[in-house]
Amino acid sequence: MAPFEASLAFAQSLDQVDILFPFRERFLFPQHDGRDVNYFCGNSLGLQPKAVSFLMQNELEDWAKYGVEGHFNARYPWFSYHHFFNERLAAIVGADKDEVVAMNTLTVNLHLLMQSFYRPEGGRYKILMEAGAFPSDQYAMETQVRMHGFDPYDAIIEIAPREGQHTIDEQDIYDAITAAGDTLAVVMIGGVNYYTGQFFDLEKITAAAHEVGAYAGFDLAHAVGNIPLKLHDWNVDFACWCSYKYLNSGPGAVGGVYVHEKYGNNPSFFRLAGWWGNDEKTRFKMQKGFVPQKGAASWQMSNAPVFNMVALNASLDIYEKAGMPALREKSESLTGYLEFLLKKLDNLSFEIITPTNPKQRGCQVSMLFKENGREVFDRLTENGVIADWREPTVIRVAPVPLYNTYEDVYKLYEVMAGF
The nearest distance, CB 43 to ligand PLP, in angstroms, is 8
Query: For residue 23, which of 354, 364, 333, 317 has the smallest C-alpha distance?
Result: 317
Kindly identify the residues of this chain, within the stretch 168-207, that bind ligand PLP according to CB under 6 A: 190, 194
The nearest distance, CB 190 to ligand PLP, in angstroms, is 5
Question: Is omega for the bond preceding 30 within 30 degrees of 0, making it cis?
Answer: no
Residue nearer to ligand PLP on the CB measure, 44 or 333: 44
Residue nearer to ligand PLP on the CB measure, 241 or 406: 241
Query: For residue 246, which of 371, 374, 363 has the smallest C-alpha distance?
Result: 363
The nearest distance, CB 185 to ligand PLP, in angstroms, is 20
242, 297, 394, 409: which one contacts ligand PLP (CB under 6 A)? Answer: 242
Would you tell me how many other CB atoms lie within 10 Å of the CB of residue 18? 18
Residue nearer to ligand PLP on the CB measure, 115 or 136: 136
The nearest distance, CB 315 to ligand PLP, in angstroms, is 16
Kindly identify the residues of this chain, within the stretch 115-134, that bind ligand PLP according to CB under 6 A: 134
CA dihedral 87, 259, 230, 361 (to 10 degrees): 110
107, 206, 226, 293: which one contacts ligand PLP (CB under 6 A)? Answer: 107
* DSSP assignment of 71-124: HHHSSS-GGGTTHHHHHHHHHHHT--GGGEEE-S-HHHHHHHHHHHH---BTTB
Would you tell me how many other CB atoms lie within 10 Å of the CB of residue 76? 18
Under rule CB under 6 A, residue 311 binds ligand PLP: no
Under rule CB under 6 A, residue 222 binds ligand PLP: yes
Residue nearer to ligand PLP on the CB measure, 134 or 174: 134
Contact 348, 376 (CB under 8 A): yes
β-bridge pairing 365-369 and 350-352: antiparallel
The nearest distance, CB 223 to ligand PLP, in angstroms, is 9
Residue nearer to ligand PLP on the CB measure, 120 or 197: 197
74, 92, 95, 106: which one contacts ligand PLP (CB under 6 A)? Answer: 106
Contact 297, 101 (CB under 8 A): yes
Residue nearer to ligand PLP on the CB measure, 238 or 406: 238
Under rule CB under 6 A, residue 238 binds ligand PLP: no
Axis crossing angle, helix 170-180 with helix 202-211, rounded to the nearest 10: 20
Residue nearer to ligand PLP on the CB measure, 137 or 408: 137
Contact 95, 258 (CB under 8 A): yes
The nearest distance, CB 410 to ligand PLP, in angstroms, is 28
* DSSP assignment of 362-397: -S-EEEEESSSHHHHHHHHHHTTEE-EEETTTEEEE
Under rule CB under 6 A, residue 136 binds ligand PLP: yes
Determine the Cα–Cα distance for residues 80 and 72; give it in Å rounded to an integer: 8
Assign 189 to helix, strand or coil: strand
38, 105, 313, 364: which one contacts ligand PLP (CB under 6 A)? Answer: 105
Under rule CB under 6 A, residue 137 binds ligand PLP: yes
The nearest distance, CB 141 to ligand PLP, in angstroms, is 11
Which residues in this chain contact ligand PLP in the complex, by CB under 6 A?
105-107, 134, 136-137, 190, 194, 219, 221-222, 242
